[in-house]
């Protein structure tokens, strides 16, 4: 059986697991401070519970409601992804999302109607996957109810802990191994089978590829930073208004914000493309920024919402008692203390923008090439050196974003521990 493009989609499943586990892990880390997990684990340990049983029985029921939306977003993404399916997915037949994209890009305009009907089918498939997951939640909750209350502590959990550690290490090894495999290919000269390493290493591959990739990198940065700036301003504005008025954001507004995460991209991007064409915006840069903004904004809300709401209002009360106005409290106290969560959320949003393939392809109309669209296009070719270079560039852009998010607060507040956001 084929390893890549296997008919069962096993390679695609493994790739999606490696891609989405870090995202869910980040969402869990963001939710931990809101559940007082550290104290609960200490209390459960004092009662004789093992680390895994204490986590499963006490902490997980509190965390899961906070990460349900990211879990559903992963289901929606996995059921309708295009770029990963093009690289790893089955080809005969392809996944539904890939086939819809081909119909939409077909020169025969009559295929647009077939693609629109298929988009409704994709919406139904994704909705069925979400319904099955929610039904599974209720079934697990009913079956686990007695287990949570049976009083068993399972203090000896060395075996399960070792198993989970091995699974995590295996996943990390696959991701790191995949990245490390790109490095020799990007510098490879002559590399003949069955040589384990290239016979010669050269910088010629990079010197030839970087001038060609310059335009794609510039487009990726300009679109990503433009969408990120709009999303950051709107997110902070909404959360700040919520904090000042003590009125939570309405559910209707949140539904609009999170809709791009819960609706397959192919189910509404065709219509969005038509809307931009009819309105005269077409495939301009501003249209591409707007399309990326739709996907960056919900991730900004997910990443920044809980830390912003958890900010200790006593700082504002003390400052107000000393005569500071709302604007001064925001700029001089809240914003500096929230710098780390803001930069982390911005790094997540920028990484989301960098990874957008289908919005760039459809809304950009093929006129705007980004690192991701170029990498996916090259993945179907045979030039592994060029593929490795573009893949490394695609990985480096979000890496620099997270490096800035971690480094800037550490540098600014290295001697001011009290200025760091309380977690």
In this predicted structure, the answer to whether residue 316 has a pLDDT above a threshold of 60 is: yes
Structure token digits, residue 137: 């939640």
DSSP 330-385: IIIIIHHHTHHHHHHHHHHHHHHHHT--HHHHHHSTTSS--HHHHHHHHHTSS-HH
Residue with tokens 């295996």: 170
The least confident of 88-92, 342-346, 390-394 is: 88-92
423 pLDDT more than 50: no
Look at residue 191 and tell me if it is in a domain: no
Q: What are phi and psi of 120, to 5 degrees?
A: -65, -35
The Cα 13–Cα 68 span in angstroms is: 20
CA distance 153 to 140: 19
Q: What is residue 412's predicted lDDT score, i.e. its pLDDT?
A: 84
Q: How many domains does the chain have?
A: 3
pLDDT, residue 417, reads: 66
Does 144 share its domain with 170?
no
On whether both 268 and 331 belong to a single domain, the answer is: yes
**Is residue 212 located within the same domain as residue 148?**
no
Same domain, residue pair 130 and 256: no
> Average pLDDT, stretch 253-263?
86
Say if residue 141 is in the same domain as residue 231. Answer: no
- Whose CA is closest to 103, among 343, 362, 328, 299? 362
278-284's contacts with Cβ under 8 Å and 24+ in sequence apart are 282/365, 283/363, 283/364, 283/365, 283/366, 283/367, 283/368
Examine residue 297 and state whether it is found in any structural domain, yes or no.
Answer: yes
Residue 73 lies in a domain: yes
CA–CA dist 223, 292 (Å, integer): 8
Is pLDDT of 128 > 90? yes
Q: Residue 284 and residue 370: Cα distance in Å, rounded? A: 14
Asked whether residue 61 is assigned to any structural domain, the reply reads yes
Q: Is the pLDDT of residue 75 over 90?
A: yes
CATH number at residue 375: 1.10.3720.10
pLDDT at 421 over 50: no
Flag whether 194 is in a domain: no
Separation CA 64–CA 53 (nearest Å):
16
Q: Is the pLDDT of residue 325 over 80?
A: yes
Domain assignment present for 193: no
Average pLDDT over residues 122-140: 93
Distance from the Cα of residue 298 to its chain's centroid? 10
The verdict on residue 192 lying in a domain is no
Domain carrying residue 116: 1-155
Please indicate, yes or no, whether residues 255 and 359 belong to a single structural domain of this protein: yes
Residues 105, 242: one domain? Answer: no
Structural contact between residues 394 and 217, judged by C-beta atoms closer than 8 angstroms: no
């Amino acid at each position: 059986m084929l390893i890549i493009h296997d008919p069962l989609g096993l390679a695609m499943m493994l790739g999606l697991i490696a891609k989405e586990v870090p995202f869910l892990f980040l969402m869990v880390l963001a939710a931990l401070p809101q559940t007082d997990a550290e104290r609960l684990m200490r209390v459960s340990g004092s009662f004789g519970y093992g680390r895994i049983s204490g986590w499963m029985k006490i902490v997980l029921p509190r965390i899961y409601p906070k990460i349900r939306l990211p879990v559903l977003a992963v289901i929606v993404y996995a059921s309708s992804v295009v770029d990963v399916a093009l690289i790893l997915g089955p080809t005969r037949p392809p996944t539904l999302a890939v086939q819809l994209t081909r119909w939409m890009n077909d020169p025969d305009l009559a295929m647009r109607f077939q693609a629109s009907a298929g988009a409704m089918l994709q919406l139904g498939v994704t909705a069925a996957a979400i319904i099955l997951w929610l039904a599974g939640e209720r079934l697990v909750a009913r079956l686990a109810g007695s287990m949570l209350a049976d009083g068993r502590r399972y203090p000896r959990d060395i075996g399960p802990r070792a198993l989970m550690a091995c699974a995590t290490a295996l996943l990390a090894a696959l991701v790191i191994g995949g990245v490390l495999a790109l490095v020799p290919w990007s510098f490879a000269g002559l590399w003949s089978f069955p040589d384990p390493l290239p016979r010669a290493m050269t910088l010629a591959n990079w010197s030839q590829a970087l001038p060609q990739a310059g335009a794609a990198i510039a487009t990726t940065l300009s679109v990503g930073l433009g969408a990120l700036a709009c999303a950051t301003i709107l997110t902070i504005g909404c959360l700040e208004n919520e904090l000042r008025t003590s009125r939570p954001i309405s559910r209707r507004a949140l539904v609009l914000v999170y809709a791009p995460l819960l609706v397959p991209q192919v189910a509404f991007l065709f219509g969005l493309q038509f809307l931009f064409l009819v309105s005269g915006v077409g495939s301009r840069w501003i249209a591409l920024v707007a399309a990326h903004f739709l996907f960056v904004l919900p991730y900004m809300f997910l990443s920044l919402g809980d830390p912003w709401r958890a900010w200790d209002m006593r700082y504002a009360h003390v400052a107000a008692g000393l005569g500071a106005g709302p604007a001064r409290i925001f700029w001089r106290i809240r914003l500096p203390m929230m710098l780390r969560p803001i930069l982390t959320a911005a790094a997540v949003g920028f990484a989301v923008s960098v990874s957008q393939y289908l919005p760039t392809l459809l809304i950009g109309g093929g006129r705007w090439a980004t690192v991701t669209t170029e990498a996916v296009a090259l993945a179907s070719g045979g030039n592994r050196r060029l593929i490795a270079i573009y893949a490394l560039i695609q990985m480096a852009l979000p890496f620099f974003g997270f490096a800035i998010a971690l480094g800037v607060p550490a540098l600014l507040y290295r001697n001011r521990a009290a200025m760091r956001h309380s977690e």
